[in-house]
Structure 1
């Protein structure tokens, strides 16, 4: 994956009018954890692996910011509203049968889990 530095990321967010919501911040924090790891590694294979993971989380942050912009909905902050809508639509979130709705729900829970692991100071490898 292509390396994107902080300045390029800021320019992209400004150009595309993307916002750093809690979901995006979680993903960017995960990328930052890999950046810290990169600074202490000596093994070239480990460096490459960390760079790839860092890039993966940055691009996922961009993807999530784009989704939130398109849907006018923040994944974490508006979770209750989303769950209420899914309960109204399906009767219960356990009965979601639309893949798009299910993917969004899984993404919300995955981001919340990642946030909890970051707050518990787990290593990035544990969180992957």
Structure 2
């Protein structure tokens, strides 16, 4: 069985990549990879890691500069999936760390889905 990567490990990886960006380069993501300096260092993300990555990336952008629309869309999608449908709660070993970051994100901005009615039935 494949080793499950904790949210903190994914967050550390994302923050390292974002901090390594040269000035003037947008820290963007596309699909399952983060754009970083060395193409050989691109890595494949599983879906739960994508969720962890977009949440971490969104937090980084909110803390350091403007939140890029693509990141906001994906971050919001994954937070919604996590909070309303429990997506990957049974996989991620340190959900409490990610939930603290989600709370921090929510204290910094209003998420698009927060005003929507949700039919979880």
The answer to whether the superposition gives a TM-score over 0.5 is: no
Which of these two proteins has the greater Rg computed from alpha carbons?
1
TM-score range, shorter chain: 0.3 to 0.5
Normalising by the residue count of structure 2, what TM-score does the alignment of the two structures yield?
A: 0.33
Normalising by the residue count of structure 1, what TM-score does the alignment of the two structures yield?
A: 0.32
